[in-house]
């Protein structure tokens, strides 16, 4: 069954090609399609396109379908094209002609638009929560290891003293900034396209403000042509935000792989969290972190993929946009697994103590020696040359005490300030608005 079916049967080869993976992807959209239909028919009753008794019957049956979806009992039948068709089939089987009335004033195009936005909103909330869980752990570890010194590098060459607290806190703050990017994408996704129909509106007096309120959207996509053009653009902007988080997590994974290397030897993990070699008995491989790194790199390619699909499309709907679903819908689960595994692994991190006591790290303290001389009254450039000479003639003697106290330095990590920033950034999503609206719709 197809919502656009008339009297002609589609060639099977054409049907299989055009449907693609819609049935598989649309299972993720099923609960959102039901919610959209509930809001839409509630609005239709207010403008006289449904009787109150018909609305009550339809809402009751849609809630039943929603419950079956929640229980994993919903399937898209093999002869049904997509989730929108399947739900209409179920309603019509149970309610007869009343079930056929839910499509008035709607196009399958704005159903997909709406479903994708509702799915994206919820998925962003899941990512925000998972990011916050990792953030909390990084902040906790930053406090725990604030006094454990670590070599700092520039150009992968020894540079200056760092600490495990400083290192872990850097990634915590990176995630806090990532939430601002994600919040911006959420606000774009959190606009109601319903009522744009095929992209040119409807002659019915649709109350789009009402469906916006019923579904807990922040605002409307006002212009109906732009609402259609928003498909692809919304996914692109969200993919960029997910890419930002993936970049943070992937870069942390790379650091871990490096620091586990025996030539660095800064950290290790329990044997049961690493893998071995088929021929080298001594190996402890960081496979989890390598896979996190690879998957995060894959996620970072998604914005370009979406841009490539949409870059030469004129305004209006085009079937090209269907292809985006196949990469976009699964990406949330992929990133969430990376966030969860990173958190799980870091709970078991084992940090090496007294690293900088090793003589090979002596020159990490060269800047400390320069600063000592500056504080004694020697101009910086002269102090720099003097320490350079000491290093060259092997007379350099490192200071025994670090004095980093400014904001964000080894001795003043500002962890609580970073926590406050993260809390503020998360509060800006206002997830409770959409969640309360959906709860009221299902009541």
**pLDDT value at residue 316:** 86
Find all residues with CB under 8 Å of 9, minimum gap 6, and list them. Answer: none
- Let me know: does 92 contact 6? Beta carbons within 8 Å: no
CB 437 within 8 A of CB 190: no
Active site residues per annotation: 155, 277
Total count of residues recorded for the chain = 443
Name residues of the chain where pLDDT drops below 50: 1, 3-4
* CA distances, 386 to each of 13, 111, 277 (Å): 79, 72, 49
According to the model, what pLDDT value does residue 4 have?
A: 44
Question: What are the distances in angstroms from CA 305 to CA 112, 232, 268?
Answer: 20, 11, 37
- Residue 220: what are its φ and ψ, rounded to 5°? -95, 155
**Alpha-carbon distances, residue 231 vs 110, 183, 308, 310 (angstroms):** 9, 18, 14, 9
Rounded Cα distance, 91 and 95, in Å: 6
Tokens of 172: 């915590």
Take residue 352 and report the two structure tokens written for it: 């090496």
Grouping H, G, I as helix, E, B as strand and the rest as coil, residue 152 is: strand
Predicted TM-score (pTM) of the model is: 0.92
DSSP one-letter string for 80-134: --SHHHHHHHHHHHHHGGGGGGGGTT--HHHHHHHHHHHHHHHHHHHHHHHHHHH
All structural domains of the chain? 12-104 (1.10.275.10), 109-195+221-356+411-431 (1.20.200.10), 359-392 (no CATH)
Cα→Cα distances 384→57, 221, 364, 409, Å: 82, 60, 14, 22
For residue 338, the model assigns a pLDDT of 98
pLDDT of residue 403: 85
Residues 239 and 335: beta-carbon distance below 8 Å: no
Q: In this structure, are residues 47 and 206 in contact, taking their beta carbons and an 8 Å threshold? A: yes
Sign (positive/negative) of CA torsion 349, 350, 353, 355? negative
Q: Distance (Å, rounded) from C-alpha 10 to C-alpha 303? A: 34
């Amino acid at each position: 069954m197809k919502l656009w079916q008339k009297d002609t049967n589609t060639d099977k080869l054409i049907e299989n090609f055009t449907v693609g993976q819609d049935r598989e992807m649309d299972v993720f959209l099923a609960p959102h399609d039901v919610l959209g239909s509930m809001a839409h028919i509630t609005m239709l009753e207010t403008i006289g396109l449904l009787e109150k008794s018909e609305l009550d019957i339809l809402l009751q049956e849609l809630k039943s379908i929603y419950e079956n979806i929640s229980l994993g009992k919903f399937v898209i039948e093999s002869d049904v094209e997509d989730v929108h068709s399947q739900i209409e089939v179920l309603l019509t089987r149970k309610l007869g002609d009343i079930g056929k009335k839910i499509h008035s004033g709607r196009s399958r195009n704005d159903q997909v638009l709406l479903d994708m936005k509702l799915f994206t909103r919820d998925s962003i909330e899941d990512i925000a929560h998972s990011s916050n869980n990792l953030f909390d752990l990084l902040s906790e570890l930053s406090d725990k290891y604030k006094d454990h010194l670590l070599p700092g590098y520039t150009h992968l060459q020894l540079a200056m003293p760092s600490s495990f607290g400083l290192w872990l806190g850097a990634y915590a703050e990176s995630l806090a900034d990532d939430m601002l990017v994600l919040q911006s994408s959420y606000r774009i996704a959190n606009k109601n396209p319903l009522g744009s129909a095929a992209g040119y509106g409807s002659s019915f007096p649709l109350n789009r403000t009402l469906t916006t309120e019923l579904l807990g959207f922040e605002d409307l996509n006002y212009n109906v042509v732009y609402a259609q053009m928003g498909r692809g653009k919304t996914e692109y902007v969200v993919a960029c935000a997910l890419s930002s988080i993936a970049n943070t997590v992937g870069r942390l994974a790379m650091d871990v792989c490096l620091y586990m290397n025996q030539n660095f030897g800064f950290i290790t993990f329990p044997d049961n969290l690493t893998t071995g070699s088929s021929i080298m008995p001594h190996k402890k491989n960081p496979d989890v972190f390598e896979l996190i790194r690879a998957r995060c790199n894959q996620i970072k390619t998604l914005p370009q993929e979406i841009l490539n699909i949409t870059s030469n499309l004129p305004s209006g709907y085009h079937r090209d946009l269907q292809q985006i679903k196949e990469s976009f819908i699964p990406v949330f689960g992929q990133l969430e697994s990376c966030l969860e595994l990173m958190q799980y692994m870091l709970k078991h991190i084992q940090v090496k103590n007294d690293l900088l006591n090793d003589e090979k790290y002596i020159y990490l303290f060269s800047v400390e020696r320069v600063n000592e001389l500056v504080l004694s009254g020697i101009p910086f450039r002269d102090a720099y040359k003097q320490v350079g000479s000491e290093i060259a003639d092997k007379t350099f003697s490192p200071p025994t005490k670090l004095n980093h106290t400014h904001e964000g330095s080894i001795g003043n990590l500002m962890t609580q300030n970073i926590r406050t920033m993260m809390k503020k950034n998360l509060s800006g999503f206002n997830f409770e608005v959409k969640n309360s609206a959906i709860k009221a719709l299902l009541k």
